[in-house]
Amino acid sequence: MFFRIPRLTPGYIRYLQTQAAQTVVQNREGAVMARMATLLGFMGIGVSGYSSRQLTLNYNPSSYRDSIPSDFPI
């Protein structure tokens, strides 16, 4: 495959520099966003586990079942 290499004019060099600078900035932002998303995910899992544990530790069975007559159709 043959492809044509564009002329290296000052405008084209400036364009390449702009593209390279945008790529570097986007890569930094992408890494920060990925870390932030991972951190928020772990925090969500932790809070969910904590609330489940609190519910099981503080669970008091209802006395409603004891008050149902034995001849009540279920």
pLDDT > 70: percent of the chain: 66
Q: How many residues does the chain have?
A: 74
Q: Is pLDDT at 19 greater than 70 in this prediction?
A: yes
Q: Each residue of 29-50: pLDDT tens digit? A: 677 888 899 999 999 999 999 9
**Buried/exposed code over 18-49 (b: 16+ C-beta within 10 A; e: otherwise):** eeeeeeeeeeeeeeeeeeeeeeeeeeeeeeee
pTM of the model: 0.45
Domain ranges of the chain: 10-53
Single out the residue of 28, 7, 10 nearest to residue 18, CA to CA.
Answer: 10
Q: Is pLDDT at 63 greater than 70 in this prediction?
A: no
Q: Is pLDDT at 27 greater than 90 in this prediction?
A: no
SS3 for 69?
coil
* Average of per-residue pLDDT across 15-40: 79
